[in-house]
Structure 1
């Protein structure tokens, strides 16, 4: 029998927030904070404005995507713990930093599709290494499309001709980033030195950078600023024809970004369950004149929110995470 006035204990609340914090975010900035209200059995998800990227993400789209992914992880963990997460996006028009509330309601039958994804939360890692030239089967692609649709998003697998066009746009975006000092400085601010990496709880550390790919068009951001083959030696070959998926929404407002973040994370976790490696590409979407051509006109997608590279690759290490005490406040 379900006790209707039951509420989770502090240990459960802490574990749910820790699970939420495993989400991906640009430069691993982890731009989220959670506040748990005991009396209401409700989490508040807030944007951490001290972790914004004003030059790379001036409108906060990537921040909302990352926070949307953290929100989805919270839902997964809540369902696994036997609770029904009741979500309200952007509940206060006068407080844009309050991105969502999640009330934990006792559940007669927790969402098993969500709960099943719980083991993948700590196994999902963004990969920047070469994948095998092995196609993702169409039945798997169909399930990934359905996963995005469950969260109000769209997932489209472009043709090889459009993939090649996207790769050229990625190369253009990389060149623009290198020519923009403010963006280069921002990237460097979030890239940890080997000495810093020993105690880092955020940012990009050396062990997750992946090999240098040279001047070839590959959908992997050059986080280390390694644009000279002379300085880095021979580049590492990546897959001949990268498999890309475009994740998007009909509109392009903060609520759509949060939905896209949840759709993205559901797709990424499902990929992990199927044994797929995944990586995220955003640099081409950060330039307005490049973002629109990324869209495949045959898909009917309104706005592309993320380019996902997927395939079969080796295991990779995870990025550092902030301690739960830094992202959670309990009232």
Structure 2
């Protein structure tokens, strides 16, 4: 049993997170995994309420569920189990046995293969039936994936650009984000490696601004694999509520969507800059989400780029009771 739990935690560290900060830690005790928020990895300037941190931890929680199910164990999950310990976000007890279906197996295979995309996509559109399937994947976790088009796409692109420019002029934000940009040759197991984005951004139409992890250096990949310029499918991930439980649910829905998409050759880029500005997030909620709460702005598409991922070793994130 312990080996299965350790393997599930090893899988969980591959979940997506803001700046690849990996803002989580885990405890294994008996037949249970505890998922905790790591306050030392909380980006307080860009994420003052901890919303994005909990979305990241929710994605890790779904990854644990998937890994356990693929191992033939039934995960019994309790979210926010103890109000006196707010850092403990969830407990997962391994019960069973459980026969893993083909969808679980497919998603489990993508856990370590999935990569965040930071450029344009190829011109091949995401198939309509796959879009419908991704919408259902989000619904299964209590969230909504809402594809947007036309004027809404242009509005989101403009808001992303405005937020990126505002943040670039904010000294506190810049100092915080510098922490997560990794120079070429870095051996760190967190942050964004220099090879994970293009050295020169090729504009899409409309263009969604990327975060600047090079901070004035000539970092990034100059390979031709980043010559794709399609925007891809733009979508919003939303929830009805906007509390801590909703953020964790959004993270689980996000990872479920990402793994299902990856199993069908579709990658995702994230653009959360506008959601980190309170007034812009409120505008998006009222004008584009029918009053629901936007938790993630993402683009989905096909790309030849393989991406480059790094993660911290298990001893840095796991305590065993």
TM-score after normalising by structure 1 = 0.89
Is 2:12 the counterpart of 1:24? no
Are the structure 2 counterparts of residues 192 and 247 from structure 1 closer, same or farther at C-alpha, using a change threshold of 3 Å?
same
Counterpart of 1:239 (choices 215, 229, 251) is: 229
> Cα distance 1:285–1:176, how it changes in 2: closer, same or farther (>3 A)?
same
Superposition pairs for residues 256-267 of structure 1, below 5 Å?
Answer: 256-267=246-257
Specify every segment of 5 or more residues in structure 1 that has no aligned partner in the other structure, as ranges: 1-7
**Retained in 2: the 8 A contact 1:52–1:60?**
yes
Match of 1:44 in 2: 34
Distance in 2 between residues matched to 1:226 and 1:268, nearest whole Å: 31
Q: Which residue of 2 aligns with 1:3?
A: none
Give the structure 2 partner of residue 77 of structure 1.
Answer: 67
Residue pair 2:163, 2:273 contacting (<8 A) in 1 also:
yes
Aligned pairs for 1:300-311 (under 5 A) are 300=290, 302-311=292-301
Which residue, 130, 145, 162 being the options, matches 1:140? 130
SS for the counterpart of 2:247 is: helix
Cα deviation 1:49-83 (Å, max 9, x = unaligned): 11111111111011001100000110110001110
The change in CA–CA distance for 1:32 and 1:267 in structure 2 (over 3 A counts) is same
User: Which deviates further from its counterpart, 219-228 or 125-134?
Assistant: 219-228
How many Å separate the matches in 2 of 1:328 and 1:18? 9
Contact in 2 for aligned 1:173/1:287 (Cα 8 Å): yes
| Cα gap change, 1:20 to 1:157, in 2 (>3 Å) | same
Instruction: Tell whether the 8 Å contact from 2:42 to 2:53 is kept in structure 1 after alignment.
Output: yes
Larger radius of gyration: 1
Mapped to 1, the partners of 2:208 and 2:58 lie a distance apart of 26
| 1:95 maps to which of 85, 88, 98 | 85
Runs of 5+ consecutive residues of structure 2 not aligned to the other structure: none
> How far apart are the structure 1 equivalents of 2:260 and 2:101?
15
Give the alignment of 1:127-166 within 5 angstroms: 127-166=117-156
